[in-house]
Structure 1
């Protein structure tokens, strides 16, 4: 009798343990996990880890390169936004890669992303265009903060370079915002990119002047100007006759100066040309107007009806 009781108790304990184990397996999905713990899936896990490590190395290299390059032309805030965007793209690609590696179909996700992308693109096509153009502006390195540029007829000094637009202040101290798409689609002139600038001063000599004297006088002008470059053969000043005008022969005085001395050079060349021609008795033609004063006798009478 006692043996049967003990046997029944043991069987009940075994059944209870078996039921508890089954409940634990069901609760934690141990059977499903065991089915995934195969050599094939283990190889996928190892492959994923190795691939993620490789992607991580490339991501760090690209991030460092972009950060270093963008820091030369962009503000810190803009650089931070670009770096964050790169990080988000990396994380999304890693998640998509891992899901696809384990057989999870991404067609629905890609489809939804495509539809959302089209909708967003139509809604913000101008901003997207400026954003993409901003990437070209940054990588093109056609300008930097502090450069004096001209875009679409507007000139000024660059204050900020953003991923959507740049901001400049004009010579009369007006703030102008220029979208990046305008910069890409228009002609950009950077007056600060190179250390030297050329200036061509156009003048004219009267037909009755001594042209040899005029040429010699014009050749003395560059030496009279302190900011004109005289010691570099590639920037040697030149004086050339150009065309025959209505009142005289046109003459060009071509000089070079440092970028920061350009305005002073223009003023010096203009003034010293007048002085040199006056000393050599060379006349610069100008329009003359003949005025005749009529008295009352010569003015015809007009009858009024």
Structure 2
């Protein structure tokens, strides 16, 4: 047995095994170093979640290359392995076209970065906070505390609105006042309300727009800016303050009205027909 072991150790097989082991060890070391380099060089431009995904992809790609080299040292034919992998890839491709599409879309989302973790986005009729950005889907938490999973392919094909991308937001208040009101007076009241509200920003300035003559009112748009985190509070407080200011100044906010005019000739004809009918009965 000792002689057999010595013969085996002196054979070329042990050399191939040692080379393969060195390749595997070098592969794991290189993969670890590359992962650290991704963290160091991309930490300023990408979110932490994207960095983690990049690290995993790069790590296993490098390990796979070194494993293939190690198998070649052990005598495995890479052409056979690649052929089998190709057939398997085609089979999996037909079986999981949706998953592949979501995977590719996820890579586009990671590269484009239309939103990041913690942002509030709107996709179709769904609005929520981004919890995670994965290779197959994006997870959201809606304002009524529901968990929503949106496939990456849907995000690529749909219009996505990022509500928290920029530090300030504009609130547009659409309202109407009666035709008897003076536009200059209404403008002054609205600007005074914005000036007294601590959540309204002075820059950009509040904006007053006269939109035109409606069916029952003079249509007006009053736009004010606020910090992103104060937008909801501003929207609620500003509308209440405008209502109170209009009531104090006796400015009327009309409801839809219709004026009906009766033709005098038709009224006379109707009265004649009524009189004739009464005469026939007598």
TM-score by length of structure 1 reads 0.67
Structure 2: runs of 5+ lacking an equivalent? 260-273, 275-282
Structure 2 residue 151 is the aligned partner of structure 1 residue 179: yes
Contact 1:229-1:257 at 8 Å conserved across structures: yes
1:65 Cα offset (Å): 4.8
1:73 partner SS: helix
1:119 is displaced (CA, Å) by: 0.5
Instruction: Summarize the Cα distance change of 1:197–1:65 in structure 2 as closer, same or farther, 3 Å threshold.
Output: farther
Structure 1 residue aligned with 2:265? none
Say if 1:71 and 1:255 are closer, same or farther in 2 by CA, change over 3 A: closer
Q: How far apart are the structure 1 equivalents of 2:56 and 2:254?
A: 65
Alignment RMSD (CA, Å): 4.1
Bigger radius of gyration, 1 or 2?
A: 1
Residues 30-69 of structure 1 show CA distances to partners (whole Å, capped at 9, x for unaligned) of 7x85xxx9xxxxxxx9xxx99x97x888745542355575
- 1:72 is aligned to 2:45: no
Shift in Å, 1:288: 3.9
SS in 2 for 1:167: strand
Post-superposition shift, 1:278? Answer: 3.0
Structure 2 partner of 1:88: 60
Seen in structure 2, the aligned counterparts of structure 1 residues 29 and 169 have a Cα distance that, compared at 3 Å, is closer
Unaligned ranges ≥5, structure 1: 1-22, 38-44, 291-299, 301-305
Q: 1:160 aligns with which of 113, 132, 147?
A: 132
1:267 is aligned to 2:243: no
Q: How does 1:1-305 map to 2 (within 5 A)?
A: 28=8, 33=12, 59-60=31-32, 62-66=34-38, 72-73=48-49, 79=52, 83-96=55-68, 106-230=78-202, 233=203, 235-288=204-257
- TM-score, normalisation: structure 2: 0.71
State the secondary structure of the residue aligned to 2:127.
strand
**1:170 shift after superposition:** 1.4
How far the C-alpha of 1:224 sits from its partner, in A, is 2.9
Conservation of the 8 A alpha-carbon contact between 2:130 and 2:139 = yes
Q: Kindly state the Cα deviation for residue 116 of structure 1 after the two structures are TM-superposed.
A: 0.9
Count of matched residue positions in the alignment of Structure 1 and Structure 2: 256
Q: Secondary structure at the match of 2:49?
A: coil
- Alignment check: 8 A CA contact 2:216 2:257 kept: no
How far has the Cα of 1:72 moved from its partner?
1.6
